[in-house]
Structure 1
C-alpha cells in the first residue's frame, strides 16, 4: 500500500500517491522536474490535472503568491512545450468513466525508481565525458592558436570567432556555458 511504501522510504502517503499518480498518467517529464528540484511535487500534480488555460492560471497564481519564481515558471513552460510535442500527458484517462486504473505495487515503484537512478547515472557519466571532451578541444585549440599559420588561416577564412567562443565559454566546472 502507499502507506507502507511511504513508511519504508520516509515520505508521506500523499507524496507517494502524487508520485504514483504522475507515473500512472505517463508524466515522466514532470516527474523528472520534481526529482531534480525544479518544481514542487504539488505543482506537478496540478499541471498533470489541468488543461490549457487552467495551466496558465495555475502558473500565474503560483507566481503572484510567491510559490513559483520565474526560473521555475520557465522550467514548467519548457516541460509543457515538450508535453505538447511528444503527446505526453495529453491523453489523461484518469477522469474517464469505465477506465480501470492499475495500481502500482511497491515492487514496481522500487523498479521504476531504480530505472530512474540508472538513467540519471548514465546522464551524469555522459555529462562528465562531454566536459572532458570539451576540455581536450579547448587545449587543442590553445595549442593550434600558437601556430602562426593556423591563426592566419582562421583570419583568411573569417573564422576567428570559433576559437574565441571555445576559449571563452568552456569551463571545467560547467562544461559549455552558453547552452
Structure 2
C-alpha cells in the first residue's frame, strides 16, 4: 500500500470519460482487482516517491473515490526501462485506442529500437510492427488508424501506400487489392473513404497540433473558389460517367434476360433474382426482390 499523492505519472494519456466512470464504478462496487505498477524514486526533498508504470486509470479512480493509499506492485527499474514498460503496457492492452498504439510504436522507434525488439516488448507480431513502421515512415496516420480500427487490412493499406501521390496509381492499387481478395465488401467502401479523406485533408491527423493560419487575401479566395469549382466539376463528370455505365448495364441486362436460354442458365445456377434497385430499372413496371 503506497500513498496516492506520492505517485508521479510517467506516461500520461487522455482517457475516455465513459470508460473512466466505469472504472470508478467497478472499484467502488468490488474493489481494485489488479494493483497498479510503480518504480521507487527519490523526490527533490529527499522524500520517497514513485513513478507510475501502469494503472493510471485505476490510480485516478482511487483519487476520485477519496482513497489515500492504493495497492501497488513495486519494481526497481531505470527510467528508460520504466518508460518502455509503460508504453508496452498501454499497447498490449486488449482495448487500446489506435492513436495510442501509433504514439507508442513511434516512441519506441524514435528511441532506436528495431522492429524485432518492438515486437518482443509489445507482443505484436514482427509483420504487424513492420507494416506500422512503414506507414509511419510515410506519415500515413489516417491509414494507420483505419487499420487499427479493423476497417481495412494492413496488407491493403501497404498496397495503397505503394501508389504514392499519384491518384491513378492509388486507384490501381485499390483495384489490385480488391482483385487479390485483400479488400472485400465494407472494407472496400472504407478504403475508398479513407483515400478520399487522405486526398482532401492530408495523410496526417494532426493530433491536436496547432496549425499556422495564413492571411486571407483576394487572390487566395479566388484560388480557393476555383479549386472548389474544379472539384465540383470533377464530381459531376464522375457522376455522368457512372450514370452512363449504369444505363449500359441496364440495357445489356434487358437484352440478356430476354434470351430464354440465358434465363434458364441463371435459374440453374441459382442466380434468378436481382436487387430491387436494379430490377426496377430493367423492368420499370415490376421488380424482383
Which is richer in helix? 1
| Coarse TM-score class (shorter-chain normalised) | 0.3 to 0.5
| Larger Cα-atom Rg | 2
Structure 1 length-normalised TM: 0.45
Structure of higher RCO (CA pairs closer than 8 Å, 6+ residues apart): 1
Which is richer in strand? 2
